[in-house]
Amino acid sequence: MKKISISKEHVNEIVRHSLEVFPREACGLLAGDGDAVRKVYCMRNAENSEVTYALDPGEQFSIMKQIEDKGLKLIAIYHSHTGSPAFPSATDVARAFFPGTKDENFPGVAYVIASVSENGLRELHAFLIKGEGIEEIEVKL
Ligand SMILES: [Zn+2]
């Protein structure tokens, strides 16, 4: 995946969710086909934190099934940053891999980060987090 295409409407959904739980981090899944996002799945932040997020495994399982039933694929995981730029934190990078390995938890899946203030979106960027490091990919609106 070299870029991710996301409509203004889907960006607005991510921003709306991020503001709803502000100043805690929001998270969720982006389903699509190829590199185009078709549906945003808002999830709860299992850590309920202002500096980290964690997907709820049960919720993730049920959404993955819905994505499959629609004939779509998981193409990205999104989360918000409420006090830092839209760039993966050390925790984000560490958690992209199985503990103690360079095996990606979600091979080929992008990480979309929306940095928000209480007033709205500051910036949104997408990354691949791989063994070789963090690679920013283009976000096509
Ligand atoms: Zn983060």
C-alpha 88 – ligand 1 centre gap (Å): 5
- List the domains of the chain with CATH numbers: 3-140 (3.40.140.10)
Residue-wise pLDDT for 39-90, tens only, equals 999 999 999 999 999 999 999 999 999 999 999 999 999 999 999 999 999 9
Category of 140 on φ-ψ map: left (φ > 0), alpha (ψ -120 to 50) or beta: beta
C-alpha 62 – ligand 1 centre gap (Å): 23
User: With a threshold of 0.95, does the pTM exceed it?
Assistant: yes
C-alpha 29 – ligand 1 centre gap (Å): 14
Contact 138, 1 (CB under 8 A): no
Residue-wise pLDDT for 103-123, tens only, equals 999 999 999 999 999 999 999
Q: Rounded mean pLDDT of 5-13? A: 98
